[in-house]
Amino acid sequence: MAEFVLPREQVLPLLQALPGWGDMTTIVFSTGCVFEFKGPFPAGDLGDDYYNLDGPVPGLHGHLRLAAMQRVRLQDRPHRGRDSYAFVFENSDGQTVFKVFLGRDPHGQIIAAQLAAFNQIRDALGVISA
């Protein structure tokens, strides 16, 4: 099966671009639990191999170890009967570190500008075999 993938060297540029996209949903899975943050993905700064998220308070904060993220898979599949698009940050074992889903407008539709930007990234990629 083929999929669209950003290689490791594109992880940081994507993280740096996401704060300009507006409201999104960031999901972290941990031992059977799901943590969600709805709002803009925060900007960050590099320090000691981490991308340190430095958004406003209240908001999403944290420290992303860049070496742990080997690629970003572009996910485009329905969820609960609705279109759904996400950037899936994965480690070297192909396990999900976290996901950032495109946001929705007040009517539940994917935000058009985010979908256009997502598609632009996808269209610029070659197809890489999984």
Condensed to tens digits (0 to 9), the pLDDT of residues 74-86 reads 999 888 889 999 9
Side-chain-facing half-sphere of 54: CA atoms under 13 Å? 9
Q: How many angstroms separate the CA atoms of 66 and 100, rounded?
A: 16
Q: What is the CATH number of the domain that holds 109?
A: 3.40.1570.10
**pLDDT at residue number 81:** 86
Q: Quick check: 122 pLDDT over 50?
A: yes
**pLDDT at residue number 126:** 58
**pLDDT at residue number 129:** 40
**Are the C-beta atoms of 111 and 102 separated by less than 8 Å?**
yes
Question: Can you give the residue range of the structural domain that contains 9?
Answer: 2-40+69-129
Condensed to tens digits (0 to 9), the pLDDT of residues 20-74 reads 999 999 999 888 899 999 999 999 999 988 999 998 888 899 999 999 999 999 9
Q: Does residue 28 fall inside a structural domain? A: yes
Q: Does residue 62 fall inside a structural domain? A: no
Q: Quick check: 99 pLDDT over 90?
A: yes
Q: Does residue 48 fall inside a structural domain? A: no
Both tokens assigned to 27: 């999901």
**pLDDT at residue number 79:** 85
Average pLDDT for 95-113: 96
Q: How far, CA to CA in Å, does 12 sit from each of 18, 33, 44, 49?
A: 10, 26, 10, 11
**pLDDT at residue number 55:** 81
The whole model's pTM is what?
0.90
Q: Is the peptide bond before 13 cis (omega within 30 degrees of 0)?
A: no
Amino acid at position 84, single letter = S
Number of domains in the chain: 1
Which residue shows structure tokens 């993280």?
A: 15
More confident residue, 3 or 40: 40
